[in-house]
Structures are given as structure tokens and as C-alpha cells.
Amino acid sequence: MRVAIVGVGQTKFGELWDKGFRDIVIEAGIEALEDANLSGDEIEALYIGNMSGGRYLGQEHISALIADYSGLTELHIPSVRVETGDASGGSALREAYLAVLSGMYDVVIAAGAEKVTDVGPELAMDIMASTADREWEGFVGATLPALYALIAKMHMERYSTREEDLAMVAVKNHKNAINNPKAQFRREISIDTVMNSPYIAEPLKVFDCAPISDGASVVILASEEMARKLTDTPVYIDSIVQASDYVALQSREDITTMKSVVYSARKAYKLSRISPNDVDVAEVHDSFTIAEIMAYEDLGFCKKGEGAKLIREGETEIGGRIPVNPSGGLKACGHAVGATGIRQAVEITLQLRGDAGKRQVDAEIGLALNIGGTGGTAVVTIFRR
Amino acid sequence: MLPRFWRKIKYRYNLIGSKCKNCETLYYPPRNICPKCRRRGEMEELELWDEGRVISYTIVHETSDDFKLNVPYIIALIKLENGVIITSQVVCNPSEIKIGMKVKPVFRKYGEDGEDGVIYYGTKFVPAD
């Protein structure tokens, strides 16, 4: 049995001051139901990626709350919040997929939502640091950008990756976001913009870091049989694999590779009987520019250490050999933490259906990589039309 | 309210980690179970206080409220002579820090739990030469 995506929806990502948590979830949900041409009665279960409702909003138990305010209350369906740091969305997608694959349900929702900007930047930094090891990393003042900076520094030292190469990732993703109406930053930037921006944690500068964003995204999954009745353009989840790794960098043998990514990618390729060369389009977790360079390597788009070469040669631009982050990625589309993994699935679905407008890539097979923290969790999904 | 970080004081102050008696791997921070041997392993505590070298570092300019009075500060991965890797602050002029630099551990203040809270201490590193 196969599992298909039959509807997608997404709010704009960004500082959504005038909208509350419930508002954005409902907005994305209604868009997805309209896209799937469903009334809502068909939904049998909800899986919601959300990293830190408790700290951002002081609201736990958002699973039932979302079911409640989405108008699904009187269906009394099960609703579960899924949390794996900022890979929560990817993990929610996987739980929803498994629920349909099990034969238990025909139609389920996988959602992701986060309302981040109600807290200030310092507290937001502290909350993001909680995706790393609080007791042994956070305690000494190692924020998430600081940890990615340690990774970047070592990658630069070992593979001669330059700060300009990292900057090129941000430039590419900003350029792609211009054509994404849901993106947070729809303006072109230059290498100089990035290079002249102040350091957050050397060598990472303001423009190497994804912003914090509010946002919600929703995909509706259906069994193959149901999908055929609902749509002429189903996009299938061919495989979805999640892996974990040591949470703290100091426990890893080599911090210039993320084993969780390598393991999940390798297994997903095997399950889908494809090689990295067969991937036509990818959305990867560029929470920091170095993470996109490492994703190229760990996903097998190039050899280890050659990630910088890939961006330099333009191979990951739209029109290149393997376009990466046509949406603008986390850097320019925005990073609404728990919503990001589902947002990636929305983008790949649009791309495979041919509904991606001016940022359209010619693609049959798509991949999404969602990462929690510095790689303690990775989720790799292969999509096929 | 209890201070957030106190249970691991001993391990933080003296750099006490674990050694697996089965495979002899050293771990810092300490672990209850060896991830290589799992149930075949047996852990014992071991002091890992040692000199080491900086294998990667960053100078932090933007941070959370807990550390914002300290910027710019240095976070480094330090590989000790005994092979263990530790994430720690390094106390020196940011212009001096470089990969390969020899450092030694010292007992230092890390922060406090708000204005009225307890003061947190731990191990930082300083240049050894």
C-alpha cells in the first residue's frame, strides 16, 4: 500500500503579529482542505509538529486545542503533538504516514505550527538552545548558532570551505524566495550583504542564520485507494526515515558530518530503490548556511568535503543539476521551528505537481531533510509523483 | 524553586567522566550506559582533568539573557590528552584563540540563576603556555 499527499496548505512565514497560534493553524488547515476538496468530516486523526508551545506560549496540550479550534471537536478524533526539536514537523509527517500505512486510517492530517515571535530574541535564542544538550552545552553558553559555528569552523579548517561559500547559500536561497509568496524574505541579497553583516558566532553572521518565524503548514495524507478517488495529482510518500544521533557535539567522532542524516538518507534511498543522483529537487534544513553545505555531502549529492564546490558551481540553483531549497529554505522562506518539516513537504508536493509557479523545477522525485538541533534527529522523506 | 543545575556539580567541577570497563572508552559527560557495549559494558567514574588542545572554536557575539553580559566570549571543543572531547569556554583574548592551541582546565564561575539565585561554577580552559 502507498500513502499519498492529497492536499497542502501553508500560512505565510514571518512575524505574524496580528495572528494568534490558533489563527495560523486554522488558516493552513482550511487551505489544505480546500486543496484536497474535503469537507473535514473525512479526517480520522491529527499529528501536529510543535516544538515548544509550552515555552513560546505557555500552552501545552495543543494537540486537543488544535482539534478543538479547527472545528473537528465533535468528531472526537485522536490528536497528538509530536516533538523532536525543530524536526518536529518531519516527525509528525512520519507518524501520520505510519498511521495510514498501518491500515488504521484512510485520511489523516499532518500539521506543523509554531508561534515564536511573542517572545523576545534572547529568550528565543535560549529556547532554540534547548534542542542541544542543556546540561553540557547550554550550561557553558553554547547557543545553537555557537554550536553550528563550531561545526562550520572545523569544516572550513578540514575542507577549505570559505565564509564566502557559506554566503552563497544565503544568496541563492534569498533569490529563490522572491518567487515564493509564502516566504518571509522576498528580496535579493548579495555576497557583500552577507559578508558585511555582523557576527552572531564567528564564522556565522546574521545572514548565515535562518530567522525565527511564526507559521503553520498542513498536509493531508490518504491511502492510495482513497487518494485515487480524491485527486488526479497525488504525490506519494515513497519512503520516510528518521534517525537519531548523540545530541551533544562533544560526543561525536566527527562533527563535520551528521550521522543521523547519513543513516536516514541511506535507508530512504534503499527503501525507494534510488540513488542520490535520482533526486530532482530537494528541500533541506538550512537553519545555518553550513548545514546546507553539509546536507549536500551527507545526502550524497557530492562527496564529503565538496559541498562548497557544489554551491560555487551553481549546481544547486534552480536550473542546476540538483536544485536545493527552491522555496527559499529556512533562511529566506523562514523557520517556524515545528512547522518547517511540513512546510518542506508542502513545497515538494507543489513542485512534483507542477504547481510551484515561477520557482517550478522539472521534477519526478523530491527529497526533504528536516533536522532537530545540531543533528540529534534527522528525517529524510522521498516523494514521487 | 531549586536551582536548575546542581546534580552534576561533582562532574563539572572536577571533570569526572566515565570509563567503560569492557571496551575502555572514556566518556565526558559521564554516562550510565556505554553506547558501544550497552548491557555488556560496565561504567566506572574517572577523573579526566587534563590539558588539551582546541580543535574548533567560535567567538560568540549574540546570545541568550543568561550570557549576554559576557559577550564576546569563546566556546571551544577541546580534545584532552586522554582523548576526551569537551565543550567549554576558553578564557583568553579572542584575538589569541586558534585551532591547535594548548589549554589547561581551571575552576571558574559560569553564571547565576537570576539575581537572587545560586551562582554556577564549572570548568573553563585557559592557555597552557
Q: Do A110 and A152 share a domain, yes or no?
A: no
The tens place of each residue's pLDDT in chain B, 129 residues long, gives: 566 778 888 999 999 999 999 999 999 999 999 999 999 999 999 999 999 999 999 999 999 999 999 999 999 999 999 999 999 999 999 999 999 999 999 999 998 887 788 899 999 999 998
**Number of structural domains, chain A?**
2
CB contact under 8 A, B56 and A151: yes
Query: What kind of fold does domain B50-129 have according to CATH?
Result: OB fold (Dihydrolipoamide Acetyltransferase, E2P) (2.40.50)
Q: Omega of the bond prior to A203 within 30 degrees of 0, cis?
A: yes
Judging contacts by C-beta atoms under 8 Å, the chain B residues touching residue A135 are 5, 8, 29
Nearest to A143 among B56, B60, B86 (CB): B60
CB contact under 8 A, B59 and A199: yes
Average pLDDT over residues A147-169: 98
Nearest 5 degrees, angle CA A211-CA A217-CA A220? 155
Percentage above 70 pLDDT, chain A: 100
Residue A78 domain boundaries:
3-119+213-235
Average pLDDT over residues A344-364: 98
CB contact under 8 A, A250 and B5: no
Q: Do A314 and A274 share a domain, yes or no?
A: yes
CB contact under 8 A, B66 and A141: yes
Q: Using CA coordinates, name the residue in chain A closest to B79.
A: A250
Average pLDDT over residues A100-110: 98
Average pLDDT over residues A99-118: 97
Q: Is the pLDDT of residue A188 over 60?
A: yes
Q: Using CA coordinates, name the residue in chain A closest to B11.
A: A136
Judging contacts by C-beta atoms under 8 Å, the chain A residues touching residue B60 are 141, 143, 145-146, 149, 200-201
Tell me, yes or no, if A251 comes closer than 8 A to chain B by beta carbon: yes
Nearest to B87 among A157, A200, A248 (CB): A248
Tell me, yes or no, if A199 comes closer than 8 A to chain B by beta carbon: yes
- The pLDDT value given to residue A101: 98
Q: Is the pLDDT of residue A261 over 70?
A: yes
Digit-coded pLDDT (tens) for A198-250: 999 999 999 999 999 999 999 999 999 999 999 999 999 999 999 999 999 99
Tell me, yes or no, if A142 comes closer than 8 A to chain B by beta carbon: yes
CATH number at residue A24: 3.40.47.10
- The pLDDT value given to residue B3: 66
- The pLDDT value given to residue B2: 60
Judging contacts by C-beta atoms under 8 Å, the chain B residues touching residue A161 are none
Tell me, yes or no, if B61 comes closer than 8 A to chain A by beta carbon: yes
Average pLDDT over residues A53-66: 96
CB contact under 8 A, B64 and A143: yes
Tell me, yes or no, if B88 comes closer than 8 A to chain A by beta carbon: yes
Q: Do A195 and A87 share a domain, yes or no?
A: no
Digit-coded pLDDT (tens) for A310-320: 999 999 999 99
Q: Do A274 and A199 share a domain, yes or no?
A: yes
Query: Residue A113 has which C-alpha cell?
Result: 505550527
Q: Do A90 and A140 share a domain, yes or no?
A: no
Q: Do A254 and A144 share a domain, yes or no?
A: yes
Backbone angles phi, psi at A69, to 5 degrees: -80, -10
B101, B77 Cβ separation under 8 angstroms:
no
Residue whose C-alpha is closest to residue A277's, from A325, A322, A240, A326: A322
Q: Do A359 and A298 share a domain, yes or no?
A: yes
Give, as one character, the DSSP assignment of residue A211.
Answer: P
CB burial of residue A266 (10 Å; 0-12, 13-18, 19+): middle
CB contact under 8 A, B59 and A202: yes
Nearest to A143 among B59, B63, B122 (CB): B63
Residues 6 or more apart from B87 whose CB is under 8 A from it? A136, A137, A140, A142, A150, A248, A249, A250, B75, B76, B77, B78
Q: Do A105 and A230 share a domain, yes or no?
A: yes
Tell me, yes or no, if A249 comes closer than 8 A to chain B by beta carbon: yes
Average pLDDT over residues A368-379: 98
CB contact under 8 A, B75 and A200: no
Residue whose C-alpha is closest to residue B103's, from B30, B29, B49: B49
Q: Is the pLDDT of residue A190 over 80?
A: yes
Digit-coded pLDDT (tens) for A323-350: 999 999 999 999 999 999 999 999 999 9
Q: Using CA coordinates, name the residue in chain A closest to B61.
A: A200
Tell me, yes or no, if A119 comes closer than 8 A to chain B by beta carbon: no
Give the A:B interface size as CB pairs under 8 Å. Answer: 106
- The pLDDT value given to residue B4: 73
CA–CA distances in Å: residue A35 to residues A233, A261, A350, B13, B55: 11, 31, 11, 58, 51
- The pLDDT value given to residue A228: 96
Q: Do A141 and A98 share a domain, yes or no?
A: no
CB contact under 8 A, A250 and B86: yes
Q: Chain-wide mean pLDDT for chain A?
A: 97
Interface of B with A in 19-58 (CB under 8 A): 27-29, 35, 55-58
Task: Select from A139, A163, A246, A254 the residue whose CB has the most chain B CBs within 10 Å, as the one to mutate to test that interface.
Answer: A139
- The pLDDT value given to residue A333: 98
The strand pair at A215-223 and A107-114 is best described as antiparallel
A334, A210 Cβ separation under 8 angstroms:
yes
Q: Measure in Å the smallest separation between the Cα of B107 and chain A Cα atoms.
A: 13
- The pLDDT value given to residue B1: 52
Average pLDDT over residues A92-120: 97
Q: Do A181 and A201 share a domain, yes or no?
A: yes
Tell me, yes or no, if A248 comes closer than 8 A to chain B by beta carbon: yes
> Which region, left, alpha or beta, applies to residue A284 given φ > 0 means left and ψ of -120 to 50 means alpha?
beta
Nearest to A154 among B56, B87, B89 (CB): B56
CB contact under 8 A, A135 and B28: no
Q: Do A151 and A297 share a domain, yes or no?
A: yes
DSSP string over chain B: ---SS-TTHHHHHHTEEEEETTT--EESS--SS-TTTGGG--EEEEE----EEEEEEEEE-S--GGGGGG-SEEEEEEEETTS-EEEEEE-S-TTT--TT-EEEEEEEEEEESSSSSPEEEEEEEEE--
Q: Do A147 and A269 share a domain, yes or no?
A: yes
Question: pLDDT-based confidence at A252, cuts 50/70/90?
Answer: very high
Judging contacts by C-beta atoms under 8 Å, the chain A residues touching residue B56 are 150-151, 153-154, 157, 255
Average pLDDT over residues A339-362: 98
